[in-house]
Amino acid sequence: MKIATKILLGFGILIALVWVIGIFAITSFSYSSTLFNKMDTDTIPKMIAVGDMSQKVTETHVEFMEFLLSGKLSSRDNVAGLLRSLENLGRENVERQETGDEKEKRAAAELAQKIDIFSSSVVDVMDMKTRGIADEELLSAEEKAVRPTFDSMMKLLTEQNDTYKSAFSTMRKDVKSSQDRGLLIIVIIAVIAMITGIILAVIYGRSISRPITNLTAVADDISKGEISKPVPKETKDEIGDLAEAFERMRVSLQVMIEAEGE
């Protein structure tokens, strides 16, 4: 094998190991990037939407109770605005869940239905207040019509929030695990590449330096007149060709010396 071929082979092996490191790094980064993208475009927006709906439901109920107790028109207007916002959030949540699984779709549809029921029951009770119905009857209507829907909505929102938090936590763990695994693999391959490089350097270095050292010794012997010993050819590369040239030179010198002796 030619010296240039040996060097190219060694570099080729190291380059292949570097490519392996790169492939593992890209794979790990791609998986982590996919999880981050899912968190940014799916899980986190859903968590925020659930939080917004929970806040709107709570604010609506507080303003609704304020209207029942005080009869302020400003409170009624606030309730009307909050209900419109809540209904919009419910519809947006249904649209957002079109890409989700069946369980999420059912939960979104159920929540939208509860929002509609909650909205109509709140409006009905506020109309009763406007008509001058007694407070005891209003509170009774709130307990029977509004409160159960409010409680069931908050329970459903809490369950959804817990589900998204769990999914988010799992994704974070998966990202951390992927990064740690990718880093470990990269370190292992880098160590293997380093050890391989050292071994190749030693093997190829010795395969080149040893024949040269032997040829140097042969040349030194020839310079001292010791030409009877054949020059060995240890390799089939350029150094082997050089050894053959030394052997031809030795033979020529030997012939010349023998001819002069005659």
C-alpha 94/C-alpha 81 separation (Å) is: 20
Residue 96: both structure tokens together: 């957002």
In tens, the pLDDT along 105-130 reads 888 888 899 999 999 999 999 999 88
Confidence of residue 82 (pLDDT cuts 50, 70, 90): very high
H helices within 71-146, ranges in order? 73-96, 102-130, 135-141
Is residue 257 very low, low, confident or very high in pLDDT (cuts 50, 70, 90)?
A: confident
> What would the two tokens of residue 141 be?
């209507």
Whether this prediction's pTM lies above 0.85 is answered by no
C-alpha distances (whole Å) from 107 to each of 160, 196, 212 are 8, 57, 80
Domains and CATH numbers, the chain: 3-190 (1.20.120.1730), 194-261 (1.10.8.500)
d(CA 96, CA 104): 10
- The span from the CA of 161 to the CA of 93, in Å, is 13
pLDDT band, residue 10 (cuts 50/70/90): low
